[in-house]
Structure 1
Amino acid sequence: MSNAAETRLWHPFANMADVKQKPFLVEKADGVWIFDEGGRRYLDGTAGLWYCNVGHGRTEIADAVSRQLRTLDTYFVFNDFTNTPAELLARRLSEFAPMESAKIFLTSGGGESIDTAAKLARLYWAKRGQPERIHILSRRHSYHGTNGFGTSMAGIETNRTGFGALLPDTTRVAHDDADDLRATIERIGAGEIAAFFAEPVIGAGGVRPPEPGYLEAAAKICEEHGILFIADSVIGGFGRLGSWFGVERWGLRPDMITFAKGVTSGYLPLGGVAISGAVADVFWEAPGNPFPHGPTYSGHPTVAAAALANLDILEREQLLQRSGELEKPLYDMLCKVAEHPAVDHVRGGTGLLGALELAPALVEQDKTVVAKAQRAVREHGAVVRPLASALAVSPPLIITEEEIGLLGDSIVAGLDAITTR
């Protein structure tokens, strides 16, 4: 794309005044690499938007999609309609889920999954004769997508501001303090609260692993007060934290789990909610209790076929285990980079993701320094994700230790460039 040709594509989260005449055009991708229109390659240090877990260019997924398009390209699963790929995917995900008799509600992505879980939580209590239980708790720094409930629950304040009145009856608690969760429940009243949403590792809010014991304590507090515990595993699932849904490493058995991203490795848009049998039974066992909610593309057969092929790769190549093996090498690399004077500290060590918090003085001096750092790293051959005051990495699970080293070299070179400037 010529720099003289102004784009007509409105980019999410972008300052279009800066982007409109100089977008970065990605032409193709293979493995852990992406290529621009000039053929230059860049290490994909973020796996797209935290999702391309099996890496780019997997012909197995492309072939599965092609076969399905030639058989049953698209159809809905409303009412009593269904299709084979959606049925197979739901059964497989149910078997992976760490709760009893899990049911799977499919969506088109993470934001839809959050809205689905929030609406289902409120309706669950209404069907249980407690319609007053509508309040939803989430954590500061959390990101739960940009749909209605997700925006209202957001713990990143910049994602909540400027839109006018948001959905009421949502409250944010400290991201790392179970006592604050308990105190908030006591202040609001457990009988008013439907659910508590928690990312196992907070992603877009800065890559913040949980404090030791926090998630277990939060889950216990919810159980004591009869509040639904909903894990947002949109980023953490399908190997990113070393297991299918990310929560298993803490022994958690949530009432619901939202998922997306890694379920197809981003090859096609898909998300969903895994719902425990105890919650689902209210709707599945008693007649006359429909869930009046559903995205158009829920259970899309071609998307489900892509997910099934992706799950095959994750299992066959043991990428969940590989994620665990690479967790320490990635964190060690980030700790080494954190010695750079432009970096204040590193967050990570839990899963194949991490973040480098830039020095506060640097951020205070130049509010655009994170974006500049991200571009500088890209100029030196790697893609990292700019957050509020940090650079985040979450590479494909197929990355090698050598490539992790190359990622670190590119980050250091980019930080050298911005400090020199």
Structure 2
Amino acid sequence: MAHPVDVPVDPERGAAVKAADRAHVFHSWSAQAVIDPLAVAGARGSYFWDYEGNRYLDFSSQLVNTNIGHQHPKVVAAIQEQAGKLATFAPAFAIDVRSEAARLIAELTPGDLNKIFFTNGGAEAVENAVRMARLHTGRHKVLSTYRSYHGATAAAINLTGDPRRWASDTGSAGVVHFWGPFLYRSQFHASTEAEECERALRHLEELIAFEGPQTIAAIILETVPGTAGIMVPPPGYLAGVREICDRYGIVFILDEVMAGFGRTGKWFAADHWGVTPDLMTFAKGVNSGYVPLGGVAISERIAETFAHRPYPGGLTYSGHPLACASAIATISAMRDERIVENAAEIGERVLGPGLRELAARHECVGEVRGMGVFWALELVRDRSTREPLVPYNASGADAAPMARFAAACRQGGLWPFVNMNRTHVVPPCNVSEAEAKEGLAVLDAALSVVDGG
């Protein structure tokens, strides 16, 4: 069972919370009548717990956003202090915490991404980055990969490559999808990373030729695709896309909403490859989601487009003081407590070796991939054929093997991140070595359930 913790146990309160939720809350991405949401009583650090006193190690970081864990005292205090000083103010004004948050973020972004447009989250950041690219170039098409997720708003959902796009894909947003590199399930019949990189770049360039370079405003990529599978790009790929964009006058957008702010063991995933995009979107880890915040980091060249031409976009809560105060406190805490360095060290010393050991013991693990605290286990029926444990976009009985795996994780006191035939190992960036090893032990037991299934 999940581990009991020393917190007040109040099943009646939990039942009331659950009943109110079921009566009034409409949940995202869900068939409302069949979901059974857990009533959460509290959280701290890498754990949260329910009203029955059961504790769960959060190996999902919620939606891969609580990079500094739950209830970090410095961030909570900053929000409380800011609420007492100036709780909200319109974005047209210069506010100290807004200016400081922008300065700190610009200090961390690569290259000349020195201007920050604040949004309330990642999808809005993508919407505005695409709008900036289209206005800057005067072109309309945007290219994105099939294995991607960029958000659920109008343009962002069209850019998304996974099945969540299908119900809302009107085909009217000028979006063209292409195959990004993924050696384990290569679309290019590649056998090495070098072949995968070269063939993926050739595929992209051929697609651009057939679509018409003069019609393409931007290429948007998740630096390391997240929900779609944590597929670390092969060496040279991002630099190759940068070169293609430069050659054809295409804006290069990197989506760092999930991969940014320490998740890969560096402040931004782009830092691993020394690539600077024209626009970079961020959210999630910028303040661990304590108050909704996202944004676009803008290069000098694109910012200059709007120096004397109004940018036609904005949000009532852009650069909200409470959100900006929490971002300042988060970045400061991450620096003071070496949280980014911890993510790199835990990935290299604990998670990477530990997950590879699990793969050696469990036939259902087809591949281990990742970096920092950003990992995926690809679960398969057959290692030799690489047949996924469950079919693509499976539901109901077809998805039962993954449901059994997730249930075994929760039974062992770990909350997993499960998508299709994968489990993602994405604890907070400040997860301790002991917590990481605790999670690996639960995963080991849960994978045994899959092996035996």
TM-score by length of 1: 0.92
Deviation at 1:87, TM superposition (A): 0.8
Corresponding position: 1:12 with 2:35: no
Gaps of 5+ in 2: 1-13, 182-199, 381-386, 392-396
- 2: CA distance, partners of 1:261 / 1:98: 18
2:170 to 165, 170, 174: 165
Equivalent positions of 1:263-282 (< 5 A) are 263-282=286-305
2:316 to 296, 301, 304: 296
Deviation at 1:54, TM superposition (A): 1.1
Aligned position for 1:128? none
1:145 to 137, 141, 151: 151
- 1: CA distance, partners of 2:445 / 2:334: 33
Moved more, 235-244 or 104-113: 235-244
- 1: CA distance, partners of 2:134 / 2:233: 27
Residues 310 and 408 (structure 1), Cα distance of their counterparts in 2 relative to 1, 3 Å cut: same
Residues 143 and 361 (structure 1), Cα distance of their counterparts in 2 relative to 1, 3 Å cut: closer
Deviation at 1:304, TM superposition (A): 0.4
Residues 362 and 249 (structure 1), Cα distance of their counterparts in 2 relative to 1, 3 Å cut: closer
Deviation at 1:399, TM superposition (A): 1.2
Corresponding position: 1:222 with 2:236: no
Aligned position for 1:310? 330
2:430 to 387, 398, 405: 398
Runs of 4+ in structure 1 off by over 4 angstroms are 418-421
- 2: CA distance, partners of 1:304 / 1:356: 35
Deviation at 1:141, TM superposition (A): 0.5
- Identity of matched residues, %: 33
SS in 2 for 1:370: helix
The answer as to whether partners of 1:142 and 1:203 remain within 8 angstroms in 2 is yes
Letter in 2 for 1:16: Q
Corresponding position: 1:107 with 2:88: no
TM-score by length of 2: 0.86
Aligned position for 1:351? 372
Deviation at 1:33, TM superposition (A): 0.9
SS in 2 for 1:202: coil
Aligned position for 2:15? 2
Letter in 1 for 2:358: V
Letter in 1 for 2:30: A
- 2: CA distance, partners of 1:51 / 1:331: 20
Letter in 2 for 1:383: W
1:117 to 107, 114, 129: 129
| RMSD over aligned Cα atoms | 1.8
Deviation at 1:99, TM superposition (A): 2.1
- 1: CA distance, partners of 2:376 / 2:55: 23
Gaps of 5+ in 1: 126-130
2:235 to 187, 205, 212: 212
Q: Kindly tell me the number of residue pairs found equivalent between the two proteins.
A: 407
SS in 1 for 2:48: strand
Corresponding position: 1:238 with 2:261: yes
- 1: CA distance, partners of 2:280 / 2:242: 13
The answer as to whether partners of 1:258 and 1:272 remain within 8 angstroms in 2 is yes
Aligned position for 1:63? 77
The answer as to whether partners of 2:256 and 2:268 remain within 8 angstroms in 1 is yes
Residues 216 and 347 (structure 1), Cα distance of their counterparts in 2 relative to 1, 3 Å cut: farther
Deviation at 1:184, TM superposition (A): 1.0
- 2: CA distance, partners of 1:118 / 1:149: 8
Deviation at 1:367, TM superposition (A): 2.4
SS in 2 for 1:409: helix
- 1: CA distance, partners of 2:57 / 2:245: 41
Deviation at 1:361, TM superposition (A): 6.2
Equivalent positions of 1:24-103 (< 5 A) are 24-78=38-92, 81-100=93-112, 102-103=114-115
Residues 7 and 355 (structure 1), Cα distance of their counterparts in 2 relative to 1, 3 Å cut: farther
Output one character per residue of 1:202-232: Cα deviation in whole Å (capped at 9) or x when no partner: 1000111112221111111111111111100
The answer as to whether partners of 1:149 and 1:167 remain within 8 angstroms in 2 is no
- 1: CA distance, partners of 2:359 / 2:34: 29
